Amino acid sequence: MILSEQYKALSKPNFSIMLELLFSPSSFNEIYLHLGHTKESEDKLKYSIRYATFSFMEPYEVLEVPIEQSIAEKIEEILCESKISIIPQRYSMGLDGHSFILKVNRGFNKIEIRWWCEPDEEWAPLGELVELIFSQLPKKLRDY
Protein backbone atom coordinates (compact mmCIF):
# COMPACT_ATOMS: atom_id res chain seq x y z
CA MET A 1 0.00 0.00 0.00
CA ILE A 2 1.04 3.58 -0.43
CA LEU A 3 3.26 5.27 2.10
CA SER A 4 1.97 8.50 3.58
CA GLU A 5 4.93 10.43 2.11
CA GLN A 6 3.98 9.25 -1.39
CA TYR A 7 0.31 10.01 -0.76
CA LYS A 8 1.12 13.56 0.28
CA ALA A 9 3.08 14.08 -2.94
CA LEU A 10 -0.18 13.80 -4.89
CA SER A 11 -1.80 16.59 -2.88
CA LYS A 12 -0.98 20.20 -3.44
CA PRO A 13 -2.21 23.52 -2.10
CA ASN A 14 -5.54 24.73 -3.51
CA PHE A 15 -6.25 21.35 -5.17
CA SER A 16 -9.77 20.21 -4.24
CA ILE A 17 -10.02 16.43 -4.56
CA MET A 18 -13.21 14.99 -6.06
CA LEU A 19 -12.11 11.37 -5.78
CA GLU A 20 -9.16 9.06 -5.19
CA LEU A 21 -8.61 5.84 -7.10
CA LEU A 22 -6.06 3.11 -6.51
CA PHE A 23 -5.56 0.57 -9.29
CA SER A 24 -3.54 -2.53 -8.37
CA PRO A 25 -2.83 -4.79 -11.34
CA SER A 26 -1.58 -8.33 -10.83
CA SER A 27 1.94 -7.14 -11.69
CA PHE A 28 2.27 -5.70 -8.15
CA ASN A 29 2.65 -2.17 -9.52
CA GLU A 30 0.04 0.39 -8.56
CA ILE A 31 -1.43 3.53 -10.05
CA TYR A 32 -2.77 5.99 -7.52
CA LEU A 33 -4.64 9.08 -8.66
CA HIS A 34 -6.55 12.08 -7.45
CA LEU A 35 -9.13 13.75 -9.64
CA GLY A 36 -9.74 17.31 -8.60
CA HIS A 37 -9.68 20.97 -9.51
CA THR A 38 -8.02 24.26 -8.78
CA LYS A 39 -9.69 27.65 -9.02
CA GLU A 40 -8.54 29.45 -12.15
CA SER A 41 -10.72 32.48 -11.43
CA GLU A 42 -13.73 33.28 -9.25
CA ASP A 43 -16.12 31.41 -11.56
CA LYS A 44 -13.85 29.00 -13.46
CA LEU A 45 -12.35 25.71 -12.29
CA LYS A 46 -9.43 23.88 -13.90
CA TYR A 47 -9.79 20.08 -13.64
CA SER A 48 -6.93 17.60 -13.69
CA ILE A 49 -5.84 14.14 -12.68
CA ARG A 50 -2.70 13.91 -10.55
CA TYR A 51 -1.27 10.41 -10.56
CA ALA A 52 1.76 8.36 -9.69
CA THR A 53 2.76 4.81 -10.48
CA PHE A 54 4.38 2.80 -7.72
CA SER A 55 6.46 -0.33 -8.07
CA PHE A 56 9.02 -2.13 -5.98
CA MET A 57 11.77 -1.52 -8.53
CA GLU A 58 11.25 2.07 -9.71
CA PRO A 59 10.97 5.42 -7.97
CA TYR A 60 7.60 7.13 -8.24
CA GLU A 61 6.93 10.37 -10.05
CA VAL A 62 3.83 12.51 -9.66
CA LEU A 63 2.37 13.65 -12.99
CA GLU A 64 -0.66 15.72 -13.88
CA VAL A 65 -3.04 15.52 -16.84
CA PRO A 66 -5.56 18.29 -17.49
CA ILE A 67 -9.10 17.16 -18.29
CA GLU A 68 -11.97 18.95 -19.96
CA GLN A 69 -14.74 20.34 -17.79
CA SER A 70 -17.27 18.20 -19.68
CA ILE A 71 -15.39 15.02 -18.65
CA ALA A 72 -15.24 16.18 -15.02
CA GLU A 73 -18.97 16.91 -15.13
CA LYS A 74 -19.66 13.41 -16.54
CA ILE A 75 -17.59 11.88 -13.73
CA GLU A 76 -19.48 13.89 -11.13
CA GLU A 77 -22.77 12.86 -12.75
CA ILE A 78 -21.81 9.18 -12.44
CA LEU A 79 -20.84 9.70 -8.80
CA CYS A 80 -23.94 11.69 -7.86
CA GLU A 81 -26.66 9.98 -9.86
CA SER A 82 -25.68 6.29 -9.94
CA LYS A 83 -27.61 3.89 -7.78
CA ILE A 84 -25.50 1.00 -6.55
CA SER A 85 -26.14 -1.77 -4.08
CA ILE A 86 -24.11 -1.55 -0.91
CA ILE A 87 -23.39 -5.28 -1.11
CA PRO A 88 -23.28 -6.96 -4.53
CA GLN A 89 -25.16 -10.24 -4.81
CA ARG A 90 -22.16 -12.20 -6.07
CA TYR A 91 -19.31 -13.03 -3.70
CA SER A 92 -16.05 -12.48 -5.61
CA MET A 93 -12.43 -13.10 -4.78
CA GLY A 94 -9.35 -14.48 -6.45
CA LEU A 95 -5.62 -14.83 -6.46
CA ASP A 96 -4.74 -13.16 -9.73
CA GLY A 97 -6.15 -10.14 -11.49
CA HIS A 98 -6.45 -6.50 -10.66
CA SER A 99 -8.30 -4.60 -8.00
CA PHE A 100 -9.61 -1.09 -7.45
CA ILE A 101 -10.25 1.09 -4.44
CA LEU A 102 -12.39 4.18 -4.95
CA LYS A 103 -12.65 6.84 -2.24
CA VAL A 104 -14.99 9.80 -2.39
CA ASN A 105 -15.27 12.54 0.25
CA ARG A 106 -17.77 15.35 0.44
CA GLY A 107 -17.70 17.33 3.65
CA PHE A 108 -17.94 14.89 6.55
CA ASN A 109 -19.32 12.16 4.29
CA LYS A 110 -16.95 9.51 2.93
CA ILE A 111 -17.30 6.27 1.03
CA GLU A 112 -14.71 3.67 0.11
CA ILE A 113 -15.53 0.91 -2.37
CA ARG A 114 -13.19 -1.93 -3.27
CA TRP A 115 -13.68 -4.48 -6.05
CA TRP A 116 -11.70 -7.17 -7.79
CA CYS A 117 -11.40 -7.36 -11.59
CA GLU A 118 -14.61 -6.17 -13.26
CA PRO A 119 -17.35 -4.74 -11.07
CA ASP A 120 -20.53 -6.80 -10.69
CA GLU A 121 -23.67 -5.75 -12.55
CA GLU A 122 -24.89 -3.80 -9.51
CA TRP A 123 -21.68 -1.80 -9.59
CA ALA A 124 -21.54 -1.27 -13.38
CA PRO A 125 -21.42 2.55 -13.01
CA LEU A 126 -18.06 2.13 -11.24
CA GLY A 127 -16.68 0.33 -14.29
CA GLU A 128 -17.93 3.18 -16.47
CA LEU A 129 -16.31 5.66 -14.09
CA VAL A 130 -12.93 3.88 -14.21
CA GLU A 131 -13.06 3.65 -18.02
CA LEU A 132 -13.78 7.37 -18.28
CA ILE A 133 -10.94 8.26 -15.90
CA PHE A 134 -8.44 5.94 -17.58
CA SER A 135 -9.40 7.32 -21.01
CA GLN A 136 -7.85 10.60 -19.86
CA LEU A 137 -4.50 9.04 -18.91
CA PRO A 138 -1.55 8.45 -21.26
CA LYS A 139 -1.79 5.29 -23.35
CA LYS A 140 1.07 3.52 -21.53
CA LEU A 141 -0.98 3.69 -18.31
CA ARG A 142 -4.16 2.45 -19.96
CA ASP A 143 -2.22 -0.67 -21.02
CA TYR A 144 -0.70 -1.11 -17.51
Report which of residues 107 and 101 the model is more confident about: 101
Q: Give the predicted TM-score (pTM) of the model.
A: 0.82
Of 135, 134, 122, 110, residue with least CA distance to 31 = 134
Q: What is the pLDDT of residues 53-95, one digit of tens each?
A: 877 666 677 889 999 999 999 999 999 999 988 887 776 666 6
Do residues 48 and 64 touch, judged by C-beta distance below 8 A? yes
The values of phi and psi at residue 4, to 5°, are: -60, -35
**Dist CA 119 CA 100 (whole Å):** 9
According to DSSP, residue 120 is labeled P
- pLDDT above 70: residue 5: no
**What are the percentages of helix, strand and coil residues in the chain, rounded to 5?**
25, 40, 35
**Dist CA 12 CA 6 (whole Å):** 12
